[in-house]
């Protein structure tokens, strides 16, 4: 049946989202099991209904226009609501969701995320998983904008009323220093700072201010690998978390880590979702995450650094 005039169809919305995410009409067609001609026509129909261009199809890769960026947020919310309705009507079983958008803090991308997705794929066989990794503040913003369904992030302040929170892990901040450097020597060498553009950098800066501490620093970086590479070369020292130390494992033999020598500071990583939107999925996902965090992060880290056992733990 042909689409009626002035109608936004669910199929048209799905085609638009796929094309925006794949940045290619042909790739979107492969993903949807359709043809490039059909994809192109659906986008044309949707743009006609909305009265504005959503995609710049003259460029490679295809990119959303300013209007397309605005509509993409709503389009993702529409598709998620449709998936939820389908699951509810089918059997009230949220494990039969057909689409789930996950945001997971980059600290988990090597050890935890692959195992989590593999396990979810087994228990939710009809679901398509869309993964976004990155800094906590960016993932939280995407969750707030309804561009994600679940976000695993470091908490950074008051929890909004719309969120349900499942605490996963608490970990302390630690000092990473050149091999053989003592805590007393830290005032004599520069501090290599984690960028204040990210939540973690702001937390560290606020802690140092509360402690009334000022250190000489010339470098502010956003990469654990770059920070620990400079520490390993003896350029300075840094403050990070055990997860950051784990991610840059190739520098461990040239870097010592120790408890933060001036006041305790820690952070909590939690799974967040919108209340009453996904049924038992957030709870089940958080339980799976806790098991994997114990096996792949907490157990090996505390075995190597026993002084972390009371401070780095699953919640």
Q: Each residue of 240-288: pLDDT tens digit?
A: 999 988 888 888 889 999 999 888 999 999 999 988 778 788 998 999 9
Do 251 and 176 meet the contact criterion of CB atoms below 8 Å apart?
Answer: no
Query: Can you give the length of the chain in residues?
Result: 315
User: Exposed (0-12), middle (13-18) or buried (19+): which is 279, by Cβ within 10 Å?
Assistant: middle
% of the chain surpassing 70 pLDDT: 94
CA nearest neighbour of 84 among 220, 212, 225, 274? 274
Confidence of residue 4 (pLDDT cuts 50, 70, 90): very low
* Cis peptide, bond prior to residue 309, ω within 30 of zero: no
- pLDDT at 60 (0 to 100): 87
pLDDT at 91 over 50: no
Q: Each residue of 124-154: pLDDT tens digit?
A: 888 889 998 988 988 998 888 778 889 999 9
Q: Each residue of 41-80: pLDDT tens digit?
A: 999 999 999 999 999 988 889 999 999 999 998 998 888 7
Using DSSP, state whether 271 is helix, strand or coil: strand
pLDDT at 92 over 70: no
Q: What is the DSSP string of 81-99?
A: HHHHHHHHHHHS-GGG-SE
What mean pLDDT is predicted for residues 29-40?
88
Do 194 and 240 meet the contact criterion of CB atoms below 8 Å apart?
Answer: yes
Confidence of residue 231 (pLDDT cuts 50, 70, 90): very high
Q: Considering the chain, what is the average pLDDT of its residues?
A: 88
Confidence of residue 86 (pLDDT cuts 50, 70, 90): low
- Taking the whole predicted model, whether its pTM rises above 0.75 is answered as no
- pLDDT at 1 (0 to 100): 37
- pLDDT at 118 (0 to 100): 92
Q: Which residue has the higher pLDDT, 156 or 97?
A: 156
> What is the token pair recorded at 138?
């960016």
Torsion of CA 140, 142, 148, 151, to 10 degrees: -20
- pLDDT at 230 (0 to 100): 93
């Amino acid at each position: 049946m042909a689409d009626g005039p002035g109608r936004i169809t669910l199929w048209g919305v799905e085609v638009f989202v796929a094309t925006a995410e794949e940045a290619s009409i042909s790739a979107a067609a492969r993903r949807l099991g359709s043809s490039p001609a059909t994809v192109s026509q659906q986008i044309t129909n949707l743009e006609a209904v909305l009265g504005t261009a959503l995609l710049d199809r003259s460029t490679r890769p295809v990119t959303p226009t300013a209007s397309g960026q605005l509509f993409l947020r709503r389009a993702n919310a529409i598709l998620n609501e449709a998936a939820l309705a389908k699951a509810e009507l089918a059997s009230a079983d949220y494990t039969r969701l057909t689409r789930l958008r996950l945001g997971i803090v980059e600290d988990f991308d090597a050890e935890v995320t692959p195992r989590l997705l593999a396990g979810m794929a087994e228990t939710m066989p009809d679901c398509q998983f869309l993964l976004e990794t990155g800094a906590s503040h960016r993932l939280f913003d995407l969750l707030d904008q309804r561009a994600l369904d679940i976000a695993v992030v470091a908490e950074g302040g008051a929890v909004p009323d719309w969120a349900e929170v499942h605490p996963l892990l608490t970990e302390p901040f630690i000092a990473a220093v050149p091999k053989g450097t003592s805590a007393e020597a830290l005032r004599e060498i520069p501090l290599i700072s984690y960028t204040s553009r990210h939540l973690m950098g702001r937390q560290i800066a606020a802690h140092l201010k509360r402690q009334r501490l000022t250190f000489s620093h010339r470098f502010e970086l956003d990469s654990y690998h770059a920070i620990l590479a400079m520490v390993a070369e003896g350029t300075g020292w840094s403050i990070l978390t055990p997860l950051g130390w784990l991610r840059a494992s190739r520098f461990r033999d040239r870097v010592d880590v120790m408890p933060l020598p001036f006041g305790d500071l820690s952070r909590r990583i939690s799974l967040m979702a919108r209340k009453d939107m996904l049924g038992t999925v957030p709870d089940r996902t958080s339980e799976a995450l806790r098991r994997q965090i114990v096996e792949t992060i907490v157990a090996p880290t505390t075995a190597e650094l026993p002084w972390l056992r009371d401070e780095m733990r699953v919640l």
